[in-house]
Chains A and B, each alone.
Chain A
Amino acid sequence: MTELEINLLEEIEKLQRTAEEAKVYESIKKILIAYENEVIKPLVNLVISQQSSIFIKENIFNLLKEISSGVLMKHILPLIKNNNSFIRNKVIEIVEFMEKEPVEKLMRLLDDPDKNVRKHALDILYSTLSAEAISGLRKGLRDENINNVITAVEYIGLRKDKGSVKDIINIFEETTNVMLKCACLEALGNIGDTAIFNFISRHFEDLKSQNKFVVFSYIKLLGKIGEKSNLNDLIFLFEHYGEIALKELLTATITLCQRHKLIEVPEQIIIILEKLTDKNINQMYKYEIINFLSKYSPVKAKEIALKYLMTNDEMLIMSALEILSVNGEMNDIKLLEELKMRNNLSENIKEEIDFTIEEIKKINEKFRW
């Protein structure tokens, strides 16, 4: 260890022992300013030293953030190859502090023979939020490692880069990897370009032949960019994927309807959902179905609510009470009073029943006037 490293370590360790952390921290910063370029290498050495505690490493990274020089970049960027993910994450934090300068250096790292280095370079490019970074992310689409291509596709989607739509569609068409196909669809959904519609009608005409995991991503895509005509696809999907992708289907239908200002959904969807409530599916799904129906078919929602009241599941009873507190009629009160007499109900539910009865009375009182 050099004399400078020893001095720095001593100063940094003081942070742990002294009550005046801020003061010690300031004195170390003064050393940094005075010896800026000389001090970076020793600090980086301390970061990678096995002997340095996490506390020391954390403080060194905080100090390094205060420096913005080419020398820092030279020493810090190679640390994205480090085995320790704590160190790699800290490097990303530091680079995020920088502006344009590191983009060029990061672009060069996209040619590094190590796939992990190229992956970290993509991570950093994405997080820099600079316009120049997009060309780096596009370069990632041609990476020889499939994980890096998936990462680049995801980041391009999040950046909504319309310039990459054609490339992403090509990747979708060429790859056989399911995760990459899903990544492409989710990215296209985020970008939302009109060029995507032709692609959809070309590839998803026959939904029966699609891989089921790709279908999940297609459902999300429909929610984000689907047209009214795609409601027919959703009917098919509710029928065939309703039990495993119900949450995704409900979300996609709601977002599609909201975008097109639709207040009704096709009757077939209502019928399928009602049938699902009789099946042995996750109770949470049954809760979500009744919430969905309360928006698009209040009459059906009430019918199902009355059915849920007869179960022993408190979550379903609670969801039924929520519906009745809005749609209930005076003749439902008798049923609620009978329900309250059940001896296996929690106090919470009993209170909710009282509240629902009061709400029904209020609603019907208003209606009478």
Chain B
Amino acid sequence: MAEILVVDDSELTQNYHSYILKSEGHNVDIASDGVEAIDKISNKKYDLMLVDINMPNLDGLSLIRKIRSASSGEIMPIIIISTDDNPHDEEILNLEKVVFIMKPVEPEFLTANIKMLLDS
């Protein structure tokens, strides 16, 4: 069982991803944008983060940059989930323990990626 943060501004997507994660026994917290995510991450340790790209206030790619530039020890795995078929940011996609998945997510595909990242 892992602690997972879902970052997405769509309530529907937050719910849907939570359903998949809860079904696998994970604990889920929700943030509606990058700013809220930073707040949550600074108060709790997460094993993995699911993040959307297009969000108000602080978008997903900027959030990932901030998190990774601030992390000194253990790297939190990140799954980028977006409707864009290309996040247009090779630098981010080449980061360690970052996976990109297109919406709408197939539950089995998401859980397989989560397992792979958590096991690594």
Which A residues are within 8 Å of any B CB, using their own CB?
83, 85-86, 88-89, 115-116, 119, 146-148, 150-151, 154, 177-180, 182-183, 186, 212-213, 216-217, 220, 244-245, 282, 284
Nearest B residue (CB) for A187? B12
Identify the interface centre among A179, A182, A217: most chain B CB within 10 Å of its CB. Answer: A179
Closest chain B CB from A188 CB (angstroms):
12
Which B residues are within 8 Å of any A CB, using their own CB?
10-12, 15-16, 19-20, 22-23, 25, 27, 53-56, 59-62, 83-84, 88, 103-107
Q: Could you name 25 residue pairs across A and B whose Cβ atoms are closer than 8 Å? A: A83-B88, A85-B53, A85-B54, A85-B59, A85-B60, A88-B54, A89-B54, A146-B104, A147-B83, A147-B104, A150-B12, A150-B103, A151-B10, A177-B104, A178-B104, A179-B103, A180-B104, A182-B16, A183-B12, A183-B16, A186-B15, A213-B19, A216-B15, A216-B19, A244-B23
In-complex Cβ contact of A86 among B27, B59, B106 (8 A):
B59
A362 to B12, CA, bound (A): 47
Known: A83-B88, A154-B10. A213 touches B104 (CB 8 A): no
Are B54 and A244 touching (Cβ within 8 A)? no
Q: Within 8 Å CB of B19, what residues of A? A: 182, 212-213, 216-217, 245
A267 to B59, CA, bound (A): 47
A325 to B60, CA, bound (A): 45
A153 to B115, CA, bound (A): 31
Nearest A residue (CB) for B24? A244
Q: Within 8 Å CB of A88, what residues of B? A: 54
Q: Within 8 Å CB of B15, what residues of A? A: 182, 186, 216-217, 220
Are A245 and B56 touching (Cβ within 8 A)? no
Nearest B residue (CB) for A180? B104
A346 to B16, CA, bound (A): 38
Q: Within 8 Å CB of B53, what residues of A? A: 85
A364 to B82, CA, bound (A): 58
Are B83 and A179 touching (Cβ within 8 A)? no
A267 to B11, CA, bound (A): 33
Closest chain B CB from A151 CB (angstroms):
8
In-complex Cβ contact of A179 among B22, B88, B105 (8 A):
B105
Nearest B residue (CB) for A119? B83
8 tightest Cβ-Cβ pairs between the two chains A and B? A179-B104, A216-B19, A85-B59, A147-B83, A83-B88, A154-B12, A213-B19, A85-B54
Known: A86-B59, A213-B16, A244-B22. A178 touches B107 (CB 8 A): yes
Q: Within 8 Å CB of B22, what residues of A? A: 216, 244-245
Closest chain A CB from B89 CB (angstroms):
8
Identify the interface centre among B11, B19, B54: most chain A CB within 10 Å of its CB. Answer: B19
A3 to B47, CA, bound (A): 52
Are A212 and B23 touching (Cβ within 8 A)? yes
A213 to B105, CA, bound (A): 12
Closest chain A CB from B79 CB (angstroms):
15
Nearest A residue (CB) for B59? A85
Are A89 and B56 touching (Cβ within 8 A)? yes
A213 to B104, CA, bound (A): 13
Closest chain B CB from A346 CB (angstroms):
19
A186 to B88, CA, bound (A): 32
Known: A86-B62, A182-B16, A186-B12. A116 touches B56 (CB 8 A): no
